[in-house]
Structure 1
Amino acid sequence: MSTLNNKTVFITGASRGIGRAIALACARQGANVVIAAKSDTPHPKLPGTIHTVADEVRAAGGQALPLVLDVRDEDQIKQRIDEAAEHFGGLDALVNNAGAIRLTGVEQLKVSRFDLLHQVNARAVLACSQAALPWLKKSGHGHILSMSPPVNMDPKWFAHFGPYTSTKYAMTMISIGMAQEFRRYGIAVNTLWPKTVISTAAIQHEAGGEQLMAKGRTPDIMADAAVSILSRSAEEMTGQNLIDEDVLREDGVTDFDVYRYVPGDADLMPDLYLD
């Protein structure tokens, strides 16, 4: 029996990409999945809404609750987390997956865009974790997992897009702090980052188009790693800044070709912040 069976997992940014893949992977384990995102109605360019993912979650064997959520709104965050916990009778895991990206330096970046990066990345980790904490304390299997990188202070990661980097590193630093702060509650706090580029709509539209997509892996590798982390106890794993491939290798996975976005043996591109 899966340790996620009947557990309730709240995932932000879950209407597409990595969030959707994590939702489906949790559903296959029999979890109750809260699909929390802004996408209530179809987007002209991007596939998926909270409702289409809810249908997929149910088809995959999980219970689904689609909720409209803007992670910049702390009142709405608390409302949605409480609503989800009351609906399913508790909350066992929070996955901070919602993210904003803009690979621009200080000279060209609008301050309003930096505000957005900060709110959706760093601030949302704090706000969502704080709102989830009362429920996670009661879980006995509480987890917070955020999609952010190990902190790598090489100046090359700041040179061209320092503002974005600072908000992603802040997610990780807040997580490192929470792992220590919440240890007394038996709540595990970890981060997860991909070894290679993950081929998603964000990459397609913001970072490099189809050419870069071909050098990446599907979101399924992040989803499988996330499920592995969420299935472990807080004693076993907390305060870690994890890489998807390393997590799966530890689980005995050896064939990573199944995760390629384009089959073949072309070189894959390492993700940001990994040397």
Structure 2
Amino acid sequence: MASSSQPRPVAVVIGASRGIGRQVAIDLASEGYRVVVAAKSTSDASKVSPFPPDPNSSESTINTVQREIQEAGKESLAIEVDTRSPESIERLFQKTYDAYKRLDVLIYNSGAIWWAPVDRTPLKRFQLLQSVNMEGLYSAVQTSLPLFEKNGWNGRIIVVSPPIYSRFFKGKTAYAVGKVGMSVLTKGLAVDWKRQGKNNMAITSIWPATAIISAATPDSRLLPDLRKPTIFSDAILEILKSPAQSVSGSLVLDEDFLRERGMQDFSKYSVVPGSSPQRIMPASFPTLAVAEEDDEGLPASSVGEITQRDSRI
């Protein structure tokens, strides 16, 4: 967080109308960020009763989240965005810059879910998944880069996407294509920034180790195995406080990251007090690295030609 003599940092949270995104936006605001709450769902927050609404219901929108933040004495701006539309994403960042003249943090929490085998996933469903997940993220990242440049290449991007491992693909290939693609973007962009000397920029992917209560978990029988979204937002805040190069390119789990930072007791996150939610993620993951990690996979002469060509662009 900035000191009193510096402008307060600005965070854009895409997919912030309910659930995890709402919690992240509220907690960022409590940490002193000016928060842009972005998603498709809007409403007249002044007419919502009771207030605040159920955070996992359709009554929770970017406007009610903005109102929650403002009533807590913090600063927030609600901007409608459709992540399937590059033009809508461009408007989001233009309005953000018009309002605050800076961008410090981008969190991409928007996502479409469809768990089914390939033969039960129509092409249109596949295209929807990719447009919201992978393409929406790519568009948001591309559009945000000029704002990070104006900020002296000091900033963070947090992506809600999983570690890369084989079990994740099973039974939900179309969904996995996009979500794993988001994690590949995290890995690749981190390498780009390191090569370019942008050492104050970091991109990190984060995923829940245990299921988190949301609109996607409506069955009350699941409650003992669910955690509150505060575990996710606490992990994100801890990522943002970590040195950029220590987290850039990392694909982390919320619980594991907090545990590495010294947390031992996770009981406060259980939806049902006293319960011990079952972990849904593996205990460890493949590193993905190979012995030839620094080899581009091309003949040395080709690498030289590509480097020379890129330097002229």
Structure scoring higher RCO (CA < 8 A, sep ≥ 6) equals 1
Matched, 1:93 2:93: no
Alignment gaps of 5+ in structure 2 = 45-52, 286-313
**TM alignment of 1:2-41, pairs within 5 A:** 6-41=8-43
Tell me the CA shift for residue 5 of structure 1: 7.8
Aligned partner of 2:91 among 75, 79, 82 = 79
Which residue of structure 2 lines up, in the alignment, with residue 69 of structure 1?
Answer: 81
After superposition, the Cα gap between the structure-2 partners of 1:273 and 1:247, relative to the gap in structure 1 and judged at 3 Å, is: closer
Residues 273 and 33 of structure 1: CA distance in aligned 2, closer, same or farther (over 3 Å): farther
Q: Among residues 249, 255, 276, which one is paired with 1:245 in the alignment?
A: 255
Residue identity opposite 1:90 in structure 2 = R
Give, in angstroms, the shift of residue 79 of structure 1: 1.3
How many percent of aligned residue pairs carry the same amino acid? Answer: 33
Deviations, residues 165-196 of structure 1 (Å, cap 9, x unaligned): 11110110011111111333331011001110
Name the count of aligned residue pairs: 269
- Matched with 1:136 is 148
Q: Highest Rg: 1 or 2?
A: 2
- Distance, in Å, in 1 between the alignment partners of 2:39 and 2:284 is 28
Cα distance in 2 between the residues matched to 1:128 and 1:272: 30
CA gap 1:162/1:41 in 2 versus in 1, 3 angstroms? same
Q: Distance in 1 between matches of 2:207 and 2:80?
A: 25
TM-score by length of structure 2 reads: 0.80
Cα 1:213–1:85 shift into 2, 3 Å: farther
Structure 2 distance, partners of 1:88, 1:14, is 19
State the partner residue of 1:164.
175
Structure 2 counterpart of 1:162, one-letter code: T
Give the counterpart of 2:132 among 120, 138, 143: 120
Unmatched 5+ residue regions in structure 1?
A: none
- Structure 2 SS opposite 1:146: strand
In structure 2, distance between residues paired with 1:201 and 1:16: 8
Q: Secondary structure at the match of 2:119?
A: coil
- Gap change, CA 1:236 and 1:86, over 3 Å in 2: farther
Residues 17, 248 of structure 1: alpha-carbon distance in 2 compared, 3 angstrom cutoff: same
Q: Which of 225, 229, 232 is matched with 2:239 structurally?
A: 229
RMSD: 2.4
Relative distance call for 1:145 and 1:128 in structure 2 (3 A) is same
1:76-124 CA deviation, whole Å, 9 max, x = no partner? 1011112112211200111010011111111112221111111111111
- Code of the residue aligned with 1:108 in structure 2: it is R
Secondary structure in structure 2 of the residue aligned to 1:35:
strand
Q: Is the 8 A contact 1:150 1:273 kept in 2?
A: no
Which piece of structure 1 moves more, 78-87 or 134-143? 134-143
TM-score (norm 1): 0.90
